[in-house]
Every structure is written in C-alpha cells, then in structure tokens.
Structure 1
C-alpha cells in the first residue's frame, strides 16, 4: 500500500510518520537520528506487522489519534458523542499538509461527521524537543469526553516507565514500573497540575540511568487536570497518551489539547533533561529578571503577624545578608489575621498599614531591594465582603467541602476576571512592585478546562499591562508546575518544604524537566517549620544555592557564625549565578545510595560545580568515588573542594582534595571519579572544576 511519509529530525533524534491509504499517520520510527539517505517509504513498508490466529485480519495502527472505527483494541485517541448522544466513530482521511521550517501541520477530515482533525507537529531547533498538539473542529455541536495529544508508540525494547507522584512538601516523587498488559492510567481531576500528578512520564530500558541508556520523555504543558495513559496492548505494542482530565471538555464545536513535549535520548535521563531545561529557559519563559536576584520571603518569619517596624528591621537584615528582593507574603489585605478570612478583599489592611504599603516599600527600595507581594486571586473566603456580595461567583455548589477554609472563584466568568484584574492592577499601579507570588492553595471542586483557560487569560492580561512584573507560580508549593503556567510566569516555588534534606531529593527529580533559573530554593529556619528537623546552616545554604537562591526565615534568629556562612555562600552564588543560571543540570549516578549528587556544567563546558549531599549515614565506611559526566575526555581540569574546611575531626586521613587542588583529565573524572573526604550525614561537599 502506497504511503505518505514525513520526517522530523535533527542530530539527536528522528521521527518518521507514515500515512497508509490516506489514513491518520503513525510513527513508524522514533529513535536515534537516521542517515539523510534513509528510504522513508521502505521504512513505512517495513512497519507492517503479521497476523495469526485469534486476531482480526489487519492490526489497527497506533496512529497519532487511534480510531475506534479501525477496531483499535486499546484506548482510542478521541471519544465523543453527537447532539443525540450517539457515539462518534470517525474515519479520518487526509485533507492537506503544510510543511513549515521546523515542522508540519497535517489536516484530516471525516466528511460524513463533518469533523476536522488538525495535527500540529514541530521539532524545536537547538533544544531538540518535539511540540505536538491536536485540534478538533466540528461543524455541529458535539460533546468530547477525551481528546489525546498526538499519540506516541513506545518501542518494544523499552520495558520500563518512570511516573511522577508526590504530596505537599514531598513533590516530584518518582516510581519506576514495568510495562505490563493493560493500561496504566493516571487521571488527575484536581484542576491543577498538582503535587501528586506532575504531568510527565519517562519510558526507558531497565539499564537506563542518568548518564547512559535510552529514554523517551514526555511532558504535557497544561496547568489544569490531565490524564495520562501508558498502555501495553494484548498484541504487545505500547502507546503513551496525554490529554485533559476526563470530563473537563464539554459541548462545543472546537477542542484543543495542550502541547505535548517529547524527546528521545540515547544518553540517559540527562540527555532528555537537558533538552527540557534548555527549552523551558530559552523558549518558554519570557521576561525573567537578569541577573536572577537573591530572594527574601517573609512568610516563615512573621506569617500573618504584620508589624511595619518589624518588617523594616527584617528587610534591613535580609539586605545585609545579600538579598536583592523582598517579598511581602500573605496577611497584608482585608482583615487577614489567619487563613479563615478576607480572600477576595484585595484592599490594603489599614489596621496594619495605616499609610498603605508606601512606607515599607520606600524602606525596601532604599535598601536597594525590589519589592514583591503575595496574591491568591483564584480563591475566596466566606468571611469576606466579596463572598457576602457575590456568592454566585463561587465555582461549584455552596455546600461543597471546603479546602483550607476557602472556596474557589469561577475563573471562566468574565466578570470575575475583570474584578480580579481591577484589584491587582490597582495595587500594582499605585505601588512600586516588581514581583508577584501567585498562590493557589486548594484543589478544585469541579473538573473544568475553562477554569485554567480563565486563569491564563487573567495572567496574560496582567503580563501585557505590567510587563516589568515577574510572577512566581506557587500552589501550596509545587502544586502547579508545568510548561503551560511557565509560559506566563518566571519562577516556580518548588515546594513549601524548606527542609534541605527533602529539598535535595525534590530538586534532584525536578531537574529532569526544570532548569535552575526558574526553580526557587530558599534557606529556611534552623528548625524546619514543615518537618521539625534541625539542620546545619551549611547544608541549608548550599542546597538553596543549587537553584534560584533565596532566604525564608527570620534573619534575627541567626547566630554570628550562621550569618558569616550565609554571607559566604550568597557571595559565592552571586559571583557564579550568571553562568550557573544557564548551566545544564546533570544528575550523577552516585555509587552510594545515600548520596544525591548533581553537576552543573556551563554552556561552554569550561567550568562546572558539583554538589554532593550525604542524606544519611553511608553503609560502607569510606566515601565511594563520585564519577562525573559530560566532560571533554582529552581535556585537563583543575578540581577544588571549596568547602574543605567543613571536614569533621573524624576525617583523619589525607585525601588530596582535603589539602589542595587536583589536576586531572576529563576521562579520569568520568571513569574513576573523585575521592572525597569522610563526612557526617546531613552534610554536603561542593566541588568546582575549571578546564585548563
């Protein structure tokens, strides 16, 4: 059968699509880059599979939108109903193609049902990340229950998947599972990306690790609820689907998925992670302040207890530590003395700020700091003037279960968005504010894509009118982190946990998708407010220095030695932030499971820094060599242990790095690795490397 073929590829990967008999295209190859002379029609012909007893006479393809009309035996790419409730069984046929510089748009139609399916496919140059989106148009109103972004087939030799779960203060938990007959379905109906449902998946082989092996990585760039299906059919084939959460699409004539980002790596998880990091930093996030300013947030210092003179004193101390931005968190508006009241009443609390925010802002600006402020625009308390006047603005029934003492505003309503815009824009226009911490502290009572679209519309309008204002996405920490929200924001609050041990793991896993430049990490209080654990300032400071550095404690609690350490680490971060915020975060495969280690490699490869944290006591008594990655094997590097003074008295030997620098080849560093001094658990080594 004659096939139309298309190839999207670069020096990192190739994707070959084939359409047989004008049917929907299927991926007949996805993997390492093919040679330019490859015969694509031959690849299409070679993709035909056999049939035998107990099977239908032709295997339905895993097309970019598998069709029920083709007797597809698994999850189909589109399920919907017409106005009379009859199930739609489209048979799409090729209509047109538009070849773009870095992609193509394929249009397929079903004339009987008056449906049009548009597949928008591109491969971003430089970052080698696929961006794939499906759009459905109907001449009549229909109900769509499921529409998948373009569907990928996972090769048979890729037997594992890594999925993401988590909870508040323990985001980005990973679980490695084998593909098995049946569907692994995760249907996130919380209305946001969510702590427990980061919209990502990595398919890999059993041997894949950070630095070697094959990986196929996916991310669905959507801030509302999503659905993921990783399915092994009875015949052994495997598919991966992403789309909006079940029941989030309603009756309409036009439907669209969010973009699905995907990439193939033959260089382990790091190969895929670097592409996501670079693409997000260079192609998604717009308007981030450069250089990235050292952040101070007052939440864990004062909570709702705002006193102008105390806040001035805290800001002064934060500036003395090296802070360059001061963020006033929750408690400045309405009659907000706790979390039971005033959400929705976005006027300044005259009891706490009788002269408005100007005296505090003037003080902060005089210190040389930018001023930022907290909002939670999508939420409302029953104890608020807004609720008393407009209870009809609440999303869902009024007798719903409350979350964190609050309800949710219906962001699909234009009047709700107009009210919030007026409140926020007035605050920004009347005060010298350069930053918003945008919070979202409860799941939604209703699964509805229109809620997320309304949030996008509000943020887009504010960004257009106040382009100088940066926005941080916070949702009880890491509850709304995805490429959709990051098209509109410049930073994410990765977790409400400032416990450095928890942060080490969360940051390590999040680096599979997120660069340092957008990932907020703060030096928290001596005693963590979320875990109760007491941790040394050196571990807390160096952990925060691995990402976009900030402080979130009462600086008045710090001892002189803690102040000295924090100033030292902050000064080091400022001296290195320009190259570090553009560095690739490479996760290291530590031989010791008690060690979490990463290597941040500069764009030009001329320098790097390694952070190696020991989260618990090691099983072996000696430190195991730590192998590095991504270096020039032929080059020589000068290696320095920059915090060697932290070696404890029980480190009684004389490993070389404890006394002086090491000059050695990249091959040695990647094959043998560094021998580091013995240390106590809950400590960190920081190693710098410079190519000679």
Structure 2
C-alpha cells in the first residue's frame, strides 16, 4: 500500500510518500508540480537502483531515518530508555491532519510506547516551508538526538554554504564541496553563536545571487544547534537540523524540535533571501507598534563606557538629538556598583552614586529633546562579585571553579526562583520609568549546553512581553551571538555585531541579508577611529553603511567636526525620508563583476523605486570600475537612475560618464544586462544610486 501527500505553494511543491505504512520520505521538493501529477508514479519514479555488494533494496531515506531499518547514515532519532539501554524505533502510520497549506503525520511504535509526529506548513505568500518533529513516550526516556523532519539535498549542487564567524566578524560563509560522508556542525556553546549561525544554503550548479536554483534552511533555536549535511554511499543526500547533542539533560516524556524554516528558489540566492526576510518581518516578529517608523538610535556605550555622569550624558543626548536621533539607549554601567565589567551583574537597582534621583532626570531630559528612552540589561548573567551572588550562589549555572567569561557566570534560567527574581526587578524598573526599549545582552557562552536554559529565557521574555507589550527588545550577545528566528519571536531587533567598523559591517550586513531584513538589523555610525579595529574611516562611508539597515549612532558626538555633523545630518535626513518604504523593501544582493565591490539593491514592495548601495571594500585590480548589473526590474519598463551622493566625487575620477552629469533613463532590460557605470572611487567609499520606475 502506498500513501502520498503533497503541499503546494505558488512557487514550490513538497511531496511525501510511504509504503506499507512506514515513515514517509520526501519524494519531491522543488518547482510546483502540475495539479494532476500522479503521486503514485512519482513515488515509484523516485526509487534508485541497486547493484552488487549492496542490499537487495535501498533503506529508505525517510523524514526520520531509523537505525532499525538498516539505514547507513545518520539516523533521525537516537534514544535510550530510562536505564540507558538503546531504543530502536519502528514507526507505523497512525493518523494525519490535513489543511489547505499544512499537514501533520503521526506514527507510533506500540512496542516501545513511542509516538512521532511531523508537522509541515507552506506559507503561500513568503514561500517558506516550516517543519518540526515531536516525540512522545509513555514513560521517561533519554533523548540524545532528534532531527526536525529530514529534507533531501539536490544532486545538482556541488557545494554547501554554512556560516561561521567570531566576535566582530560574524556571518562568514564557509563553502564545503559535497563528497561522500557529511558536513557536521555541532554548536555546544549553549547559544546561537557567532561561530555557527544555524543556516545552510545549497546553490545548485550555476546559481548566483540573481539567477538559478537554490535551497536554503534555518533552524529557529537559541540554544545551540546540530547540522548534518550527509551524502550516503549510494549518492543520496540528506539535511538534518536539531538541538545540539546532549542538551536534553533530563529524561522526559515529550520532546520537540524547534521549527526548521526552508525554501526553494528559482531566482537565485535572492529568492531564498527574500523569503526569509519577509517571513521573519511579517510572520515571526511581533511588533509593539507596527505603524511606528523605525526610530534612529543613539547608544552611549562607545562614548562613555562605564563612566556615567549625568551632565555629560545630558550633553551627549542633546547633541545626538541634533544629529537626528529619536531614541537614546543608556548602556551598561547604570546599576549596582558597576564601574567596570568585574562586578554587580544581577544587582538590578539604579546606582545611587551616579543617579542620586534615579533615572528620572535623564529620561526627562532625553524626552525633552524629542527622543524615547532605552536601557541595557544582561538578565541571564551574574558576577561573583555581586550582592545577588553572595545571597544566592546556588543560582549560578555550572561548577564553582568554571572558567569565567567577561568576569561573569550564567544564571540558571531553568530555576523558577531565578526567573521570578529577574521578572520582579525588571517589572519594577519598567513600571517606575518611561522605558520603551531594552537592549538585552548575553556576553558569555554557557559552561555546559542545556536546552532548559533557552527555554527558561523564552519564558521570562514571554512574560515581560505579555505584561509590557509596548516595550521593544533587541537581542544582543556580544553582538551577533544570538540571532535566530526563535529569539526573534520575542524580540524586534538584533545587534548584528559589536564591530562599528563600517568596512567589516559592509560584509557582515551583506551576508546576513541572506536571512535578515532591514527592519530588524541594527547598524550604527561608529567613532572616527573604530574601537574594535583601530581603523579610521570617513564619515560618509560610516554613515551610508549604517543607512543600509536600521540606522543609529554609537560614538561620542562631541568628537564630530562641523563637516562631519553636516554629512551625518544629511544622511540621517535621507534615511528618515525613505525609511517607510525601505522597511518593507527586499534586500537583493547584486552579482558584482568586481570582487572589490560589495553591492545590494533594496527594492520597494511595489517595484516602483529602489536604492543601490555599492560599497568599495578594497582596491580594484582593473583600472576603471566595471558596470554593475541591477536585478528585479521589469525588462520592458523604463527607469530613471541617479547618483544620490554625487558630491563625493574625487579628483582622480576624470572621465565624462553619464551618471556624473545627472540622471539617466533606460529600460529594465538594459540595466539588468549591461548595468550602470559608476565613477571611480577610493576604497572604503560608497556610491548610493536611486532608481524610479517611470
């Protein structure tokens, strides 16, 4: 007996099939199939041959490959009974629930007392496939590994792209050729991690940013993930995502993976990127006030660090407002006896030495300058040198002699007493002060990975969001150490990197756009001399890189020259004028013919306008700039294209090219085929090109 199921979106079809009521396998995932396609035929056509030296039939690569079925690769479930003895499941069909865009399939192993359910949903507008797996047992069992429903990888894919990085260097792409065996990532830091963003992109042969087929995946979990991208001996390929190994530390009767988000695109990597951007912005993030324009930030960290003096902060706030800031964020150093990073974490009372009258006078001044007020918190951490630790040393996670990180330990967020204490502190803070924004930081990895830790954090965040629904929250973890769709179900912004080096940011933002939209991606204009790289960059470059995303400032504005103030005000005014449509725009990575140029095109939701940011990250090897092809335009339509920052021309640009003198008008076909010729520029410069459909 054959059972088949299919889910269809406008762009893709996912089809599953099963024989003899065993677990199903994915028999098709790709461009949408005709409605009258015979699924039984597809099931049979999907099978591959066998030959000498192999079994008489190929073990099925199901949505949860079972060790008991002679499967030669990574199984989808590794389980032990309460006494530690291994359990090898043999699941059979039990029931199903089907809807227009979703399906849930339930299978059971009566002998072992196990029930496995796989959930699938295709969003018809964002083109995202969501899936998750749930395992239930009739007694406590120990889970070593549970994959979200396993999806196949295409054969016409020569390499896989996943993501690595470091502090101040997030979202680096690691490209690995497909070979027999697997690519195995197991992030056991206890958080999403700079080193292992939970994403995977599979570009099919010949795919670019703007053309060709690609598949992409993201695992929406904040506690560390495991990824297996494996090619079996017979040539089939599977992709598995789940929680990091060993993070379910206690026996249980119910386990659930996070949601695996996946998509297929026939429009290059940008097709996948736009799906993730829209799904995150429109389905995942819960906005406190959806109609509020994204406010320009000012963060005081790199201006004062721990040295909080009320007159200085007021002066800085006034200057930030004059630059165009609309939200002032008070960073670390306002609480306890917090004069450096060695003490006072978890003592969440306002420091009376620095703020003898509380935060009220500063908040009132900030608001008198037309800005909202935000504040820095690091709720999940504690310093051994703190009143809270001295009272509750048992609240710290891990051993007493563990290695500290930034002189701090993690609080045990699975402990209800810890969560209650934190909730009371923050509810009091938010109740007594007019605070509309929290920068929620997480500055060290866990001493050991434990899935109970992120679940406890989620509970605290959910409670605070429920009781203070108008407060916006940013996810920060030494920059980009906790960016995933799980934390973004509870937050509205991410701090992409602690690096305010615009050159580093140009690359980080470019790669992060494969998953993240402008609306949630914070980007700040840093100091003239970058505090994390020592690099000195022109204010124009710093400002335009920040204007690519949710714009802000993070420097001492008292250092700015008159010319720097003028430039920053000008760029900020432009950003404010355009932020409404840019918040809804698709970020399209451009295929630059010059490797020195990192370029993107932000395309309005209705296709009537766009802006191109063409950043020059290095010196070019050729003499003249290569033309830059645009994308996503109507080939038959005409567009007016103009350089916005023509005043940034340098004397070494001596030619008479069209865009120097004014706008040009050309067809979408021309702009996407021949591209635009930009003026010569120095490295660490940015051309900003605006386009309008006529």
Q: TM-score, normalised by structure 2?
A: 0.99
Q: Give the Cα separation in 1 of the matches to 2:156 and 2:618.
A: 36
The alignment partner of 2:385 has SS state of coil
The alignment partner of 1:462 has SS state of helix
Question: Alpha carbon RMSD of aligned pairs, Å?
Answer: 0.7
Q: Give the Cα separation in 2 of the matches to 1:158 and 1:34.
A: 21
State the match for 2:72 in structure 1: 73
CA-CA distance at 1:101 after TM superposition: 2.6
Q: Give the Cα separation in 1 of the matches to 2:5 and 2:246.
A: 33
Q: Give the Cα separation in 1 of the matches to 2:264 and 2:358.
A: 53
Q: Give the Cα separation in 2 of the matches to 1:686 and 1:601.
A: 14
The alignment partner of 2:537 has SS state of coil
CA-CA distance at 1:17 after TM superposition: 0.5
CA-CA distance at 1:159 after TM superposition: 2.2
Conserved? CA contact 2:8–2:101, under 8 Å: no
Q: Give the Cα separation in 2 of the matches to 1:470 and 1:246.
A: 33
Conserved? CA contact 2:10–2:124, under 8 Å: no
Once the two structures are superposed, the pairs formed by residues 59-458 of structure 1 within 5 Å of their partners are 59-249=58-248, 250-289=250-289, 290-458=292-460
Out of 484, 487, 491, the residue aligned to residue 485 of structure 1 is: 487
Structure 1 runs (4+) greater than 4 angstroms displaced: none
CA-CA distance at 1:86 after TM superposition: 1.6
* Deviations 1:431-473, CA, capped at 9 Å, x for gaps: 0000000000000001100000000000000000000000000
CA-CA distance at 1:84 after TM superposition: 2.4
State the match for 1:658 in structure 2: 660
* Deviations 1:171-228, CA, capped at 9 Å, x for gaps: 0000211111112110000000000000000112242110111111000000001100
* Deviations 1:51-71, CA, capped at 9 Å, x for gaps: 111111221111110000110
State the match for 1:624 in structure 2: 626
Q: Give the Cα separation in 2 of the matches to 1:179 and 1:288.
A: 44
Q: Give the Cα separation in 2 of the matches to 1:646 and 1:177.
A: 40
State the match for 1:560 in structure 2: 562
State the match for 1:58 in structure 2: 57
The alignment partner of 2:54 has SS state of coil
State the match for 1:14 in structure 2: 13
CA-CA distance at 1:125 after TM superposition: 2.1
Q: Give the Cα separation in 2 of the matches to 1:396 and 1:337.
A: 26
Q: Give the Cα separation in 1 of the matches to 2:215 and 2:246.
A: 28
State the match for 1:534 in structure 2: 536
State the match for 2:606 in structure 1: 604
Q: Give the Cα separation in 2 of the matches to 1:403 and 1:265.
A: 41
* Deviations 1:282-337, CA, capped at 9 Å, x for gaps: 00001254200001000000000000000000000000000000000000000000
Q: Give the Cα separation in 2 of the matches to 1:680 and 1:11.
A: 44
The alignment partner of 2:399 has SS state of coil
Out of 659, 677, 686, the residue aligned to residue 675 of structure 1 is: 677
* Deviations 1:56-104, CA, capped at 9 Å, x for gaps: 1221111110000110000000001112222111100000000023101
Q: TM-score, normalised by structure 1?
A: 0.99
Q: Give the Cα separation in 2 of the matches to 1:631 and 1:652.
A: 30
Once the two structures are superposed, the pairs formed by residues 508-527 of structure 1 within 5 Å of their partners are 508-527=510-529
The alignment partner of 1:436 has SS state of strand
State the match for 1:688 in structure 2: 690
Greater CA deviation, 538-547 or 14-23? 14-23
The alignment partner of 1:269 has SS state of helix
CA-CA distance at 1:247 after TM superposition: 0.2
The alignment partner of 1:371 has SS state of strand
| Unmatched tracts of structure 2, length 5 or more | none
CA-CA distance at 1:33 after TM superposition: 1.0
The alignment partner of 1:501 has SS state of helix
